[in-house]
Amino acid sequence: MRRVLLPLAAAALFLAGCGTSTPPNVTFDVAGNSLTAAPTQFCDNQLQNCTDDANARLTAALPPGTPVTVTVPEEISSAPWQVAFSYLGPDGRTRTDGRSPIAAPGSKTDYTLTLPDPRDRLLTAQVQLFGPAPVQDPATGQINFPVRATWVLVAS
């Protein structure tokens, strides 16, 4: 019996290490075109081991008023996440930054970003995966939500 357990334990350890080596991708659906994004930043849960890849950001034509649907896999939806975005108003000069509501762990796998005015032009959308528990900045009193991973779409 002991001879069987040792190889099984070794195999379980090997397989457990393999499952976490590749960061998940997200999908941005723009006017019926599905674009798959790798993370531009990805850290472990303790924000200790991080990788950055500025070339992972997606660039796409985003005509004014085009909604963007973001779909995330279970690896992301099992933790708190949101979409941060920036857009230009109808005048083409007024920039607005916004955020979706935070999706609670296990509650959502997608979010559709629709801007307030059909003439608004999306500049960027960023999926943000939260990491450790939020902390309060003692100097400002503001709550900081550590982001451990991002996936970025930029208008061309």
Digits of tens for pLDDT over the chain (156 positions)?
434 333 333 333 333 333 457 899 999 999 999 999 999 999 998 888 999 999 999 999 999 999 999 999 999 999 999 999 999 999 999 999 999 999 999 999 999 999 999 999 999 999 999 998 888 889 999 888 899 999 999 999
d(CA 58, CA 1): 53
Burial class (CB in 10 A: 0-12, 13-18, 19+), 12: exposed
Global pTM reads: 0.81
d(CA 8, CA 1): 11
Judge whether 57 and 35 are in contact, CB under 8 Å.
no
